[in-house]
Amino acid sequence: MTGLTDIRRRFPGLSDGWSRFDGPAGTQAVDTSIEAVADWQRSGNNANSHGAFPAARECDALADRVSATVGELLGVDPAGMVFGPSTTANMMALTRAIAADLGPGDEIICTELDHDSNLAPWLLAARDTGATVRMACLDPDSGRLHTEAVVDLIGPATRWVAVTGASNAIGAIPDTTEITGAAHAAGARVVVDGVHLTPHRHIDVNAIGCDVFTTSSYKWYGPHAGVMWVEPDLLDSLPAYKVRPAPASGPGRFQYGTPSWEAMAGIDAAARFLLETTMAAVIEHEEAVFAHLLAGLHDLPGVQVVGPPDLVDRAPTTMFLVDGHTPLQVATRLADEMVAVWDGHNYAVEAMGPLGLDADDGAVRAGVCIYIGHDDVERLLEAVATLVGH
């Protein structure tokens, strides 16, 4: 039992009784975030920024408020906070601007552990500019991205390093602080994809030292949106693709069109929820529940756990295979028992080969988050046990 035993009540989306191990693809929204979105929509403040009337001033105040709250959550200067529709969209905008200053001979380091939203934008930028993407390899035995695998690729030609904060497929957490230090020593800049890390670990972007940190609020109990922090001087100096009247400095350079004010209200509430819950309580709860899940899967004959076998430097997410069943068949059978899991590659496309998985079928993915309890784990394990005849 942990201090978060009663937290399910804060999530109206769980009232149907399903066990929702699909959090890595998007969590249920917390009550205060849902209400903040609705309150904003009802308030009459739906307007736009920089106007001469009160509703417009409320939009400016909301932008300042949510930037400050997310800045506190991520441990970083709120001046660099960009709000967009998704992390993928934010990355496409960012790399399009970065590409204006890339050319043949320049190198970008990406990793096999990353979600494609921190890979494809770089591959496209390289295709368009003649730059080269060098891929840091995942260790197939441990399911880890070792620091040396990235650092050994860094050299005088390296311009950018793009690395995940945590794998959305198998949970592995690389040492982004070490990697950032090595990149900066070589004069390169670093993007950390913090989408899977943010709901599970205390984030201190200043301590990591990276130049860009991305996250998506729908993975941490808020609305569907992407938040990208860009170091403020870099934010102002990158040649953003933007419409002419858009601001010449600050986040407005990368916020295409009118932002979703209602999403920003929901993001503010979701970030507050995480801050108030405290990451210490989140980690204590999630580690206990995830340890139960991992041990239960390891103990089942006919089940193969994919990725790191332990809890060290690890978000509470795992993949697994079940003998004699495709991942889709497993997910379908679990759905019969009201257990939601994802099957497939989950957009971590480069990791599938090194992990020994089929490129399309991938594996079954189960993620623990704040509202998953031991009863959910028992339900999942019993359903898998039936599949393997136990």
Binding site for ligand PLP (CB under 6 A): 24-25, 86-88, 115, 117, 164, 168, 193, 195-196, 216, 226, 347
- Rounded Cα distance between 146 and 124, Å, is 26
Minimum distance between the CB of residue 259 and ligand PLP, rounded to whole angstroms? Answer: 15
- Rounded Cα distance between 162 and 110, Å, is 5
Nearer to ligand PLP, 45 or 88 (CB): 88
Nearer to ligand PLP, 219 or 379 (CB): 219
Minimum distance between the CB of residue 358 and ligand PLP, rounded to whole angstroms? Answer: 20
Nearer to ligand PLP, 263 or 334 (CB): 263
Nearer to ligand PLP, 106 or 165 (CB): 165
C-alpha distances (whole Å) from 262 to each of 36, 62, 258 are 8, 10, 11
Residues 227, 205 contacting (CB under 8 angstroms) = no
Minimum distance between the CB of residue 24 and ligand PLP, rounded to whole angstroms? Answer: 6
Nearer to ligand PLP, 156 or 257 (CB): 257
Nearer to ligand PLP, 84 or 252 (CB): 84
Minimum distance between the CB of residue 54 and ligand PLP, rounded to whole angstroms? Answer: 32
Dihedral class, residue 277 (left if φ above 0, else alpha if ψ from -120 to 50, else beta):
alpha
Minimum distance between the CB of residue 162 and ligand PLP, rounded to whole angstroms? Answer: 11
Minimum distance between the CB of residue 72 and ligand PLP, rounded to whole angstroms? Answer: 21
Considering only CA atoms, which of 93, 20, 74 is closest in space to residue 259?
93
Looking at residue 313, what DSSP letter applies? T
Residues 388, 303 contacting (CB under 8 angstroms) = yes
Backbone angles phi, psi at 340, to 5 degrees: -95, 120
Minimum distance between the CB of residue 365 and ligand PLP, rounded to whole angstroms? Answer: 10
Minimum distance between the CB of residue 216 and ligand PLP, rounded to whole angstroms? Answer: 4
Q: List CB contacts of 377: < 8 A, sequence separation 6 or more.
A: 289, 292, 293, 296, 368
Minimum distance between the CB of residue 16 and ligand PLP, rounded to whole angstroms? Answer: 23
Beta strand 317-322 with 363-367 is: antiparallel
Looking at residue 249, what DSSP letter applies? S
Q: Residue 163 forms beta bridges with which residues? A: 192
Nearer to ligand PLP, 164 or 255 (CB): 164
Residues 349, 287 contacting (CB under 8 angstroms) = no
Q: By three-state DSSP, how is residue 322 classified? A: strand
C-alpha distances (whole Å) from 355 to each of 107, 186, 319, 372, 382 are 26, 31, 10, 26, 26
Considering only CA atoms, which of 69, 114, 62 is closest in space to residue 88?
114
